[in-house]
């Protein structure tokens, strides 16, 4: 009996944590614009990316989900860069040296941007989602696709119950968008 009660509680908690996270928040809305510096010192402006599909991944070096997705982001970039797609990791509220050292093992060939104060990350936090977290922490381990006009076409908040480290849904949406040209 005790086992059944625990099983029911675990199932209910899993459902609660996945509800809302599978919703496609902010879809169709213009992405919040920003200009951030990459770890190489170069500045990148989202406004300058018009005409290009953009994949944003919000991350922190201490985030195990982010680290699990990292090699798949590099693979995604290599497979899609010739299809007018730019990938960015937006590291949230961490020191440049820490980010550089921690992410060196992944040998990213795309820019890693530094959101030093978390303001960019917070601007992508859907209202009412994960209210116990700081707004700049909500998008961690999330992936977004912005279309050529800068509108959000895909948004996957972290869903630990259905974690997609291989970015399967993201790739499916990219393929769909590319076919629509």
Domain harbouring 144, CATH code: 3.40.30.10
Burial category of 165 from C-beta neighbours within 10 Å (exposed 0-12, middle 13-18, buried 19 and up): middle
pLDDT band (50, 70, 90) for residue 125: confident
Query: Is the pTM above the cut of 0.85?
Result: no
| Length of the chain in terms of residues written | 181
pLDDT for the residue numbered 140 = 84
Per-residue pLDDT, averaged over 18-24, amounts to 45
Secondary structure of residue 6 in the 3-state scheme = helix
Average pLDDT of the chain to the nearest whole number: 84
Which strands, in side-by-side order, build the sheet including 35-38? 43-45, 35-38, 112-115, 85-92, 53-59, 143-146, 152-156
CB burial of 49-68 (b: ≥16 within 10 Å; e: otherwise) equals beeebbbbbbbbbebebbbe
Domain that holds residue 130: 2-180
CA 120 – CA 58 distance, rounded (Å): 10
Please tell me the least confidently modeled range out of 4-8, 70-74, 138-142: 4-8
Return the half-sphere exposure (C-beta side, CA atoms, 13 A cut-off) of residue 120.
Answer: 23
Q: How far is CA 70 from the centre of its chain?
A: 11
Please give the structure tokens belonging to residue 55: 């994949």
CA 77 – CA 109 distance, rounded (Å): 8
Total domain count, the chain: 1
């Amino acid at each position: 009996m005790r086992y059944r009660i625990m099983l029911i509680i675990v199932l209910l908690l899993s459902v609660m944590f996945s509800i809302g996270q599978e919703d496609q928040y902010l879809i169709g809305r213009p992405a919040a614009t920003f200009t951030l510096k990459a770890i190489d010192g170069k500045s990148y402006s989202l406004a300058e990316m018009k005409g290009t599909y953009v994949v944003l991944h919000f991350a922190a070096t201490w985030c195990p989900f982010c680290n699990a997705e990292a090699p798949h982001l590099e693979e995604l970039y290599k497979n899609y860069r010739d299809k007018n797609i730019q990938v960015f990791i937006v590291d949230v509220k961490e020191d440049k040296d820490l980010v550089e050292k921690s992410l060196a093992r992944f040998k990213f060939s795309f820019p890693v941007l530094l959101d030093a104060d978390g303001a960019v990350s917070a601007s992508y936090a859907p209202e009412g989602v994960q209210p116990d977290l700081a707004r700049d922490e909500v998008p961690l381990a999330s992936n977004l696709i912005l279309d050529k006009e800068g509108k959000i076409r895909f948004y996957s908040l972290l869903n630990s119950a259905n974690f997609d480290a291989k970015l399967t849904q993201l790739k499916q949406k990219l393929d769909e968008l590319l076919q629509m040209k």
